[in-house]
Structures are given as C-alpha cells and as structure tokens.
Amino acid sequence: MFDLERREAGEVVLKGRFDAAQREKAQALFDEIHESVTLDCSELDYISSAGLGVLLKTQKRLLAEGGRLKLIGVNSHLRDVFKYSGFDRIFEIEPG
C-alpha cells in the first residue's frame, strides 16, 4: 500500500510501496502539489518504474512552474533505482 502525508508547509512524507498498482492513486495525490516540496522517503520501502513515472511527471510540471521536488531519507533500494534510471541527475537526493 502507498500513502502520501503532508506534514508541514513544503514537506510531504511518502509511505509504503510505490508500485504499478498504486499509480493512479499516487498520481492523483501528486497532482495536488503545486509548490516546491521536500519528499521524505524514509518510510518508503520500494519504488518501481511506475512510481518513477509519477515522480517524473510531477517534477517536469513543477519545474515549468518554477518549483521542484527534493528527495530525502532515500534507502539503498531507492538510491539504486534512481541511479540506474538517471533520476539522480534531475532530482536533488539526500540518502537516509
């Protein structure tokens, strides 16, 4: 299960597993973000290309609007996925 929780201005916590079964729900939640935010991934266990697609679409939209996503608390699995997909070039990422 995947969930997204807004904690305070500019910070969003991602939780659970960001897989293809969660894509539509996740996209709807990310579509509500309209400013630069820091995504706390310390409770995000897993991501696949479906999750990457949602993050990429959101990042492109925010960059066009003058904002951006920053990822913090990234575990080793997420770090590998971001590295192999080239996402470490387009997101500011801090390890967990």
Bridge partner list, 8: 11
- Of residues 21 and 28, the one with the C-beta less far from other proteins: 21
Count of residues making up the chain: 96
- According to the binding rule CB under 8 A, does residue 67 interact with other proteins? no
- Is 71 exposed, middle or buried (CB count within 10 Å of its CB: 0-12, 13-18, 19+)? buried
36 contacts other proteins (rule: CB under 8 A): no
* Least distance in angstroms from the C-beta of 85 to other proteins: 6
Stretch that binds other proteins, among 5-13, 25-33, 34-42, 58-66 (CB under 8 A): 58-66
Per rule CB under 8 A, is residue 33 in the interface with other proteins?
Answer: no
For 2, 4, 43, 46, 60, the CA distances from 16, given in Å and listed in that order, are 5, 9, 6, 7, 24
Using the rule CB under 8 A, is 19 a contact of other proteins? yes
Shortest Cβ 48–other proteins spacing (Å): 5
